[in-house]
Amino acid sequence: MPAPAGWRYKPRRALWDNKAVRAGALILLLALCGLVILALVREQTGTEGFLVGLGLAVLPVPLLVAAFRWMDRVEPKPWKNLVFAFSWGACAATLMAIIANGYATEWLLSSVDLAQRPEADKWGATFVAPVVEETGKAAAVLLLYLFRRRDFNNTVDGVVFAGITATGFAFTENILYLGNAFATDQSFGHEGVPAATAATFFMRVLMSPFAHPLFTTMTGLGFGIAASLAPRRKVIRVLVPFAGLLTAMVLHSVWNGSASLSPLAFLAVYALFMVPVFGALTWLAIWSRQNELRTIRTFLPAYQIAGWLTPPEPLALSSMRARGIARDVARRTGGPGAARTVAEYISFATSLAFLRQRAHNGTAGPDFPAREQELLHHLWTRKHIAQPALTQASATLPRPFVPMPQQWAAPPPGWQDVRGPGPWHGPGTPR
């Protein structure tokens, strides 16, 4: 029987090709890991110890998440990516670490003499745990790098994803350590403030809540640098993440090894090594955020010249203060819906600036023209609310020198004019 006119064979897609199926399978996997982790931690700490550990371990989490969200405010990442990163660190990476560290510790204890078993525990904490734990946390960053490339473009993205993953890992690990400390205090019949619990809380929650995020952000830096490199530099894009992971393992090993030293030596390592590294990372975070704002101020004027944006917008969009003022103006004049529209406009304009930067660097990819037109369309449909608010906000800012848009000797691969193909031909109503 002949096929109907215009019929074309379409091969059936495999079930795994469906994004919803993959997302559902990942959620199910993380939920299963979470249940297993809860059971393992409760088995080791007891119900009362688990609840105490949970209550104390949750205290630094909002502060750490808020710090990474502050760093990510210029171009906020979707919450689903951050939830995945935290869940992976708290569930999957922790489960991998518990299992692998357990097997490694048993092997070390069975391979050394009885008199040397205390040393075997130190070897495991110094040389085995950093490799296992940093590899487990790096898996989340790798998955986001491979499957969420649109949201993973630079070092800020790598640091944020890695830091949130490590925050989740530290959260579960703190439950275990604090719960065990409380169980120890209970077994010795301590009254009043439990000594072991208080000491563990001071060391892990007050003195070093940034430890795990600090280690894993080295891995995130490696992936972030790789994401910003041109596709033709394949070897470097593979080696840089490995170098970041190795740095994370070394930092973690130094930290764990210092815990087995005398208190004075531990404080020396803390003050002379960990604090400077943390300070350098803090400076890098602030510099990277300012660099993102400079990127907006540099690459958006091309769209202002083409007529897509009004003259005050590149300046307003490159200022966090002006962004907040614009949202407040829209909220006063149009309510929460108008403020949400302005926030969306700011997000799309920021993505547009970074997309043009990647085109300038040759890293935009073949879908650059379609992505650019998509973002321009989103701006066009929201401009009647967002542009007046941004214009009013820009009036509150000083007028610095605004550089002209950069010119290219030759168009980058996949480049089209900002008024490019499709239904839009410059500002005006789509044809």
- At 291-327, the pLDDT tens digits run 999 999 999 999 999 999 999 999 999 999 999 999 9
Inform me whether the pLDDT recorded for 98 exceeds 60: yes
Residue 424 is predicted with a pLDDT of 43
Residue 2 is predicted with a pLDDT of 54
> What span, in angstroms and rounded, lies between the C-alpha atoms of 384 and 191?
66
Residue 115 is predicted with a pLDDT of 54
Residue 420 is predicted with a pLDDT of 44
Residue 125 is predicted with a pLDDT of 83
10 Å Cβ neighbour count for 430?
10
Under a CB-based contact definition with an 8 Å cutoff, are residues 372 and 402 in contact?
no
Q: Give per-residue pLDDT as tens, 136-181.
A: 999 999 999 999 988 898 899 999 999 999 999 999 999 999 999 9
Under a CB-based contact definition with an 8 Å cutoff, are residues 189 and 106 in contact?
no
Residue 193 is predicted with a pLDDT of 56
Amino acid symbol at 66: A
Q: How confident is the model at residue 31 (pLDDT cuts 50, 70, 90)?
A: confident
Residue 191 is predicted with a pLDDT of 60
Q: Give per-residue pLDDT as tens, 344-395.
A: 999 999 999 999 999 998 888 888 999 999 999 999 999 999 999 999 999 8
pTM of the model: 0.85
30-38, long-range: CB < 8 A, 24+ apart: 30/84, 30/87, 30/88, 30/91, 30/92, 31/91, 33/91, 33/92, 33/95, 34/87, 34/90, 34/91, 36/95, 37/90, 37/91, 37/94, 37/95, 37/98, 37/172
**H/E stretch holding 342:** helix 336-361
Q: Give per-residue pLDDT as tens, 199-209.
A: 999 999 999 99
Residue 107 is predicted with a pLDDT of 79
Q: Give 28 or 139, the one with higher predicted confidence.
A: 139
| Rounded mean pLDDT, 24-46 | 87
Q: How confident is the model at residue 113 (pLDDT cuts 50, 70, 90)?
A: low
Percent of the chain clearing pLDDT 70 (strictly above): 84
| Rounded mean pLDDT, 111-116 | 61
Residue 174 is predicted with a pLDDT of 96
Phi, psi (rounded to 5 degrees) for 310: -80, 155
Residue 409 is predicted with a pLDDT of 42
Task: Tell me the two tokens of residue 278.
Answer: 């943390």
Residue 408 is predicted with a pLDDT of 46
> In Å, what is the CA distance from 34 to each residue of 129, 157, 169, 228?
20, 25, 12, 33
Q: Give 116 or 347, the one with higher predicted confidence.
A: 347
Under a CB-based contact definition with an 8 Å cutoff, are residues 161 and 152 in contact?
yes
Inform me whether the pLDDT recorded for 425 exceeds 60: no
403-421 burial by CB neighbour count: b if 16+ within 10 A, else e?
A: eebeeeeeebebbeebbbe
Q: Give 400 or 245, the one with higher predicted confidence.
A: 245
Which alpha helices (H) appear in 72-210, and where do they start and end?
79-87, 94-111, 117-123, 129-147, 155-187, 195-201
Give me the chain's average pLDDT, please: 85
**H/E stretch holding 393:** helix 368-394
